[in-house]
Structure 1
Amino acid sequence: MATKKLTNIQEATDFVRGCTFYATGGGGLPENGIESLMSEINEKGFVQITDISEIPDDAVAVCPFLMGSIAPHDEATLKEMAGFGFIDGVNKEKARLAKAIQELEAYTGVKTTVVVPIELAGANTSGPISAGSSLGMMAVDGDYCGRAIPEILQITPYLYDRKWLPVASVDEWDNVCIIKKATNLRVVERIGKLISAGAYGLAGQAGFIMSGKELKETVIAGTLSKSYELGKFIREAQEAHLDHIPQKIAEKVGGWVLAEGKRTDFEDEDRIGYYWGTTTIQSDAGDEYKIWFKNENHVCWKNGEPFVSSPDLICVVDRHTGEPIPNPKMRQAQEVAIIVLPCDERLRQDKIKKVLDPQYFGFEDISYVPVEERMK
C-alpha cells in the first residue's frame, strides 16, 4: 500500500479498531490509542504511515513500545500508589514513548529517523507512531510480529539476532531508566516489566536501533495499512447493519469463527507487570471454551481439550457488531464470537515458536498444532 495519512477521528478509530483485533486481547486500551493519534492529528493535521519501499537503507530505525500490565487498578492499588506520590500522571502514553526515544538518543548519541511498532495493538501501535510523528520521524507500515505479544523476545528482531540494547524507559510519572547491559533478551524483558510494575502501569520504552536496510529485512511489512483496512471494513459492516459480522471478519482475515455464544465467567489478576486470566465462553452449540491469557490470548480449550494456541491468533469480538474486545473489558462483554487465524509464518520458525507456544507458558502437556489443521 502507498504511504497513508490518518487525518480525522474516523480514520484514527478505524486504524485502532483493526490493530485491536490483531492484538488478541492485549496491547493496551483502544481509547488510549485513539487519544495518542488525535493529539497528533489535532496538532499537525495528520499521522503518516510510510510504505517500507520509501525508507532509505541508511535510515536509523528505533522501536518504541509500551511495557507492562493493562490490568485495571482497584481501590487498594490506588491507595498504595498514592503512598509513592503516584496520583496525577505527568506523561500520557505518547509522551512516555517520545521521551523514551529522546532518552535513548541522548544516551547513545545516535539520531533516529524511523519508528517501527513492536506489535499490532490498540495502544501499542498508535502510541509509537504518534510519538514518532511528534518528533518529526517517519513511521513505517509494518511491525515486528503481526499480532500482539507479552514478551519482547517473541518478535522478529530476536529471530534475526538484531541488537536490542540499550533500552530507555520513561514512565507515567517521569521516572527514567536505561537498561545498559543484560544477560539476554529474556532478562531485558524481565527488567523492563519490573520497571513498569514499579510504576504501576505501562512504561514507555525504546530500543532495537537498526539501519533502514536491517529494518527492511526484519519488519513484517504492510501490517499497519492492513489493520486500517480491517477496522474500516468492520465499521462499514456495522453501518450497513449486516448480519453475521464475525463470519465476514473471519473471511476478510483468512481465519475461522470458532464459536459464538455468551461469556459466562472471567478471572483476572495483575502479576509482575503482566495481566493474567481466563475467559469462559459457552457456545450456542453447547460447547465450553476457555481462553487463557497473559496480556494476550494464548491457549484455547474446547470442552477441556486444548484446541488453538499461540503463535496463532485467538481473537474475541462482539458477536453482533464485530467490535474487538480487549481483555480488560471482557468482564463487561456478554455475547461474543471467537475468531482464530494463522500467525505470520516467521512466528512459526523454531526460534520464536519455542518462546510463544503453550509449553513456553508452562503448559508442558500441550503441543502447538497449526490452527488450519485444527479447523479442517
Structure 2
Amino acid sequence: MNGTRRTSPHPTAAAPAGLNRLTPADLPALAAGATLLGSGGGGDVALPARLLRHTLAAAPVPVVPAAALPEDALVVHAGEAGAPDVLSERLPCAEDFARAVRAVETATGRTADAVGIIEIGGLNALAPALAAAELGLPVLDGDLMGRALPRIDQTTLALDGHPACPFALTSPAGDTVLVPTCTPRAVEPLLHADIAALGGAAALALHPVTAGTLRTSGIPGSLTACVRLGERYLAARDTPPAELAARLGARLLCAGRIDELRPRRGAETGSVTLHDHRDGAVVRVDLLDELLAVTVDGETLAATPDIIVAVDAAGHAPLRCDQLRTGRTVLILHLPALHRWPPEAAHLVGPRAYGLTLTPATGKTPAPAGAAPERSST
C-alpha cells in the first residue's frame, strides 16, 4: 500500500458478541452476506473481494463498535460511488479511499479515529475495510442503511438531520473533489454531477460524525450481522429451498419461472412476473436498483426497506436485478431486516420513495435478525 499508516489514539475493543477483526477467513462470508443484503442491488462484490483478500492477507483489519469508542471519536464514512457497470471495471483502489477520507479530515480540521460503512449491502460493505487498512484505522461494526439503498440521503444519519458534508470524491485517476457544505437536498445532485465529471466512478468519504452520534443515529452490529448471515448462507446453499429459507430465518415467497420482464426506465420502476410452481400463484416483483416489493395474487407480502432476495433455483446463487431474465427459474426470499426504520422514514426508504403505492400485509414481516432494535428519529 502507498498510504502512511496511522495509529488511532483511541482503544478499539469490540463488543464480546461481535467481530473484533476482519481476516481472510471472514471474506467469503462477508461477500456472501453483503450480496444477500444488497437485495438485488449494491453492485458486484467480486472485485472488492479480490482487493480485500490481498489486503487482509497482509494484516487483519480491526473492527470496533461505536459503543467502544470515546464519545467524541471521529468516524468518517467511506464507500464507492458511481454506476455499477462502471465500478465493476474501474473500482477505486485503497489509496483513493484514503485520499477522500484525508480531504474530509482537512475540511473538518480533525483526524479520523475509525472508518464507517455507509451501506452493509453490496460492494460498499467491503470497500470501507480497504480504506481502513490503508489509513491504519479500525472499521466500524455498524452502518447507516442496514442493507443496500440507491441514494445517499437514505441513511439513518440523514433521517435524523445530520449533514453529509463535508464530503469528498476521489477518482481512479487521482482527481479529488471536495464539497465543504451544501443543503441536504443538494447532496444527491452534486454527487451525480461530480461522479460524472470524474469518469463515472469514485471513492467517496462523507458523514464525519462522532461515535456518540452513531450510538443514537447509526445501526450497530451490522458488519457482524452481515458476516453471520453469510456464514449461514454458505452452510445452507446446497440444501432444499425450504431448508435454505429456514436456516436464513427467511420466508420463501415464490419458487417459479420468470414469465415476463418489464425493464426499468430511468427512475421508473420495472418488474418481473412469475408463476409459483408450488401453487400456481401469480407473483410480481417490483424493482429499480434493488428488489422493492413482492405481490402474490394481489397481496403485497414484502416491501422495502425489508430485504428481498432472488436466488437461482439450481445453485441458489443470489442474483442482482440485472441478472433476472425471462425463462429463468428463481426463488424469492424475504429476509429479516437488520434495522426497523421508524414510520416517519416511510417517505425515505419505503415503497413511496420509488413511486409505488403499496401497503404490505400486516403480521407477515420476519423479525429483525441480530443488529438493532427499533429506534425513534430525533
TM-score grouping bracket, smaller chain normalisation: 0.7 to 0.9
Distance 1:96 1:316, change over 3 A: farther
Checking the alignment, whether the CA contact within 8 Å between 2:107 and 2:180 is kept in structure 1 is no
TM-score by length of 1: 0.82
TM superposition shift of 1:252: 4.0
Distance 1:143 1:172, change over 3 A: same
Unmatched 5+ residue regions in structure 1?
Answer: 74-87
Q: Output the CA distance in 2 between the equivalents of 1:309 and 1:279.
A: 15
Checking the alignment, whether the CA contact within 8 Å between 1:104 and 1:168 is kept in structure 2 is yes
TM superposition shift of 1:161: 2.0
Q: In the alignment, what sits opposite 2:21? A: 5
- Structure of higher RCO (CA pairs closer than 8 Å, 6+ residues apart): 1
Distance 1:107 1:356, change over 3 A: same
Match of 2:353 among 360, 364, 367: 360
Task: Give the % identical residues.
Answer: 23
1:250 aligns with 2:245: yes
Q: In the alignment, what sits opposite 1:153? A: 153
Q: In the alignment, what sits opposite 2:44? A: 29
Q: Deviations over 1:273-322 (max 9, x none)?
A: x7964334332133333323232211333356644321222111223443
TM-score by length of 2: 0.81
Distance 1:311 1:110, change over 3 A: same
Unmatched 5+ residue regions in structure 2?
Answer: 1-16, 368-378
Q: Note the 1:1-376 alignment, pairs <5 A.
A: 1-8=17-24, 10-42=25-57, 44-71=58-85, 92-184=92-184, 186-199=185-198, 201-238=200-237, 241-244=238-241, 247-266=242-261, 268=263, 271=266, 277-284=270-277, 285-303=279-297, 306-331=300-325, 334-344=328-338, 346-350=340-344, 352-363=345-356, 365-367=357-359, 369=361, 372=364
Q: Output the CA distance in 2 between the equivalents of 1:112 and 1:36.
A: 23
Q: Deviations over 1:123-175 (max 9, x none)?
A: 11100122112211111111112111111222111232223211111123333
Q: Output the CA distance in 1 between the equivalents of 2:26 and 2:208.
A: 29
Aligned partner of residue 372 in structure 1, secondary structure: coil
Aligned partner of residue 259 in structure 1, secondary structure: strand
How many residue pairs are counted as aligned between the two chains?
A: 349
Q: Output the CA distance in 2 between the equivalents of 1:3 and 1:373.
A: 27
Q: Output the CA distance in 2 between the equivalents of 1:110 and 1:275.
A: 41
Checking the alignment, whether the CA contact within 8 Å between 1:265 and 1:280 is kept in structure 2 is yes
Aligned partner of residue 208 in structure 2, secondary structure: strand
Distance 1:109 1:2, change over 3 A: same
TM superposition shift of 1:220: 1.3
Q: Deviations over 1:88-111 (max 9, x none)?
A: 95x635443222112222333221
